[in-house]
Amino acid sequence: MKPEENYSLRGYNTFGMDVSARYFAKFTNEDTLDALARTKEWQESNPLILGGGSNLLFTKDVDKLVAYNQIKGIENRGGDDEYVYLHVGAGEVWHDFVMYCIANNYGGVENLSLIPGSVGAGPMQNIGAYGVELKDVFHELEAYHIEGRYFVKFRAHECHFGYRESVFKNKFRNQFVISRVTFKLRKQPKFNTTYGAIEKELEKMGVHELTVKAISDAVINIRRSKLPDPAKIGNAGSFFKNPVVSASQFEILKLKFPEIVSYPSGDDYKLAAGWLIENCGWKGFREGDAGVHKDQALVLVNYGGAKGKEIFDLSTRILSSVHEKFGVDLEREVNIY
C-alpha cells in the first residue's frame, strides 16, 4: 500500500479548508488498516486518522500521513426479545446508520438524526442531541492500537464516557483507531421527546402516534431550521460545548441575568453556550469570510475563502468576550489541527 503525496483535504473536512496532507491513504477493512500501519509513512509519524471531518478545523497543512477510515458495513448480531445488537463499520456515515435503524424500527438513535460525521467519531466524543447520548445505546467497540499494531475491544465502562468526552479524547488520545462499533438498540422503542422543541415540532407536524420515524423527522426539521448545511456553507456544527457551572455560580448568574438559559445537570447547571455567545453580540457577525451563523450563535462558518486560523482567532475572541461578560469559560468542541 503506497500513500499518495501532497493530497488536498478540502473535500474531507466540513469547514472546506483548503489544506493538504503530506501523505494520504484510505483503509477499507482491518487488513488494509494493518497493512497501512506497516508502511514507512505511518511509522515515521503519528498519523492523523480522519473520519467524516465534521468535528475538525484545519489551521495549517498536515505534515504527515492522513489515514481515511472507510471501514463500512452494518451487521445484525442478533439479540433477544427486547434488544438487537448492530455491528457497524466506523467509516459508515452516522446519519445513514440512523436511517437504517429507523427503517427497521430499532429505537435509541432517532434523537441523534442528522448529526454529521462517521460512526467511528461517535464514541470518541460521545455525541449527543435532544436528551440522548451515544453512551445510551453503546455496547462495545473494536479499535486498533497504533503503536502495538493489534486490535482490542472496549466495553462501555472502559470508554469513560462524559459530556462530549471519552477515553479516546484524553488518556488514549491518538493511540487507537476505532474500526467497528456495536450498538444495543430497542426492538420496542422508548421515546424521549421532552428535550428542546421536539414536542412542539411533533405537534406542528400533526403527529398523534409516536414512532421512531416521527421523532427522527422532527429532529431533522429542527436541525435544518437552525443549523447550516455544510454542503452549502462550511461549518462543523456546534463549535463550543455547553459549559457546566456549580449551583452557587448559577445562582449568581441568574440574579444578574434572569433570562439565562440553563438545564439541570446533576447538582450543577449546564448553560446554553449559544445564548451566552448571542448575548455578547456575536450572532450573525462576519469578518471577511469567517463568521458566526445568523440563526445559531454556536456555529462558526466559512463563507468560502476563510483560513482556518481566521476561524480559530474568531473563536478566541468569542471565548474572551463570554468570560469577560459572564465569568464563564467556554471550551471548544471542535478539534483544532
Active site residues: 164, 238, 333
Q: Are strands 62-69 and 48-50 parallel, antiparallel or unpaired?
A: parallel
Q: Look-up: residue for cell 436511517?
A: 99
Alpha helices in the chain (DSSP H): 30-37, 40-43, 94-103, 121-125, 156-159, 198-205, 212-226, 247-256, 273-278, 308-326
8 A C-beta contact, residue 243 and residue 273: yes
8 A C-beta contact, residue 74 and residue 33: no
Contacts of 306 (CB under 8 A, 6+ apart): 234, 288, 289, 290
- The DSSP symbol for 28 reads -
Contacts of 263 (CB under 8 A, 6+ apart): 242, 269, 270, 272
- The DSSP symbol for 214 reads H
Q: CA 279 → CA 46, 235, 258, 272, 275, distances in Å? A: 41, 21, 13, 11, 6
